[in-house]
Amino acid sequence: MYGEIISTSKLCPIMHDISLVTLLTLCLAAAAAGWIDAVVGGGGLILLPALLVGLPDHRPAQLLGTNKAVAIVGTSAAAVTYARRAPVDVRLAVRIGGTALIGSSCGALLAAGINSDLLRPLIMVVLVGVLAFVMLRPAFGTAPAGAPAGRARIWAAIGVGGLGIGFYDGLIGPGTGTFLVIALTAILRLDLVNASATAKIVNTCTNLGALVMFSAQGAVLWRLAAVLAVFNLGGGLLGARMALKKGAGFVRGVLVVVVLGLVAKLAWDQWL
């Protein structure tokens, strides 16, 4: 099974074939990813590239599956934190999330055939689109939430945030939380804090659907994922509390900084 790792390092007996420096770097990336995921989504845009660089000899499907196993821990913890302290429509979030689970499962079925050389350009294109959208709308998500959504907007959110973004999450993954926040803010007219809170519940469902499919294919490095999940959990809890405390303006600022930094990082890796 390619989900297993097969040799032991004296410095790092928990992980096989991974140096201590690489493991520590991945742990820091997991913590940062958990924080960013909780605030605005898109933590996979940090952790997945880190896995691609740190574990170049593993199949892309393994790294995607491991990323899901780590992300579901921090995302679900952030979802619980938000649900307790923010006015989240849990029923609506679960409806979108149930559809997203189906979409992500379908995407994960196709993910095994992805070539790693395609991942960075695809992610960069998506990120540039996100950045352009946010920068061209300075007030996006900072206004108070509007009136409750009608049936048409709810179905649009289920279609776009559920099936569409859910499928993307299973197929590629990075940026899903960010895309959910933007979609829910635009379609349901939520502020960024409420959209982020709702997105965490939906994202937990997409992570679960994709993880089940990757696990069935043996494409998860479980021991590595267990270690990284601890750091991701800590980052997720801290990020959710900061977002609730500081509000929508803080969330938007983090969104812009994260997207700019990641575009630069991926461009450097791809061309320089």
Phi, psi of 3 (to 5 degrees): -80, -10
Indicate the pTM of the whole model.
Answer: 0.74
In this predicted model, which residue has the larger pLDDT, 257 or 222?
Answer: 222
Q: Which amino acid is at 168?
A: Y
Model pLDDT, residue 229: 95
d(CA 200, CA 78): 7
Give the pLDDT band of residue 112 (cuts 50, 70, 90). low
Instruction: Locate 52 and state its tokens.
Output: 């691609």
State phi, psi for 138 to the nearest 5 degrees.
-60, -30
* CA distance from start to end of the chain: 35
pLDDT confidence of 10, banded at 50, 70, 90?
Answer: very low
- Going by pLDDT thresholds of 50, 70 and 90, the confidence category of residue 81 is confident
CA proximity to 224, closest of 52, 80, 51, 40: 51
Residue 9 has pLDDT above 70, yes or no: no
What are the phi and psi torsion angles at 8 (to 5°)?
-110, 135
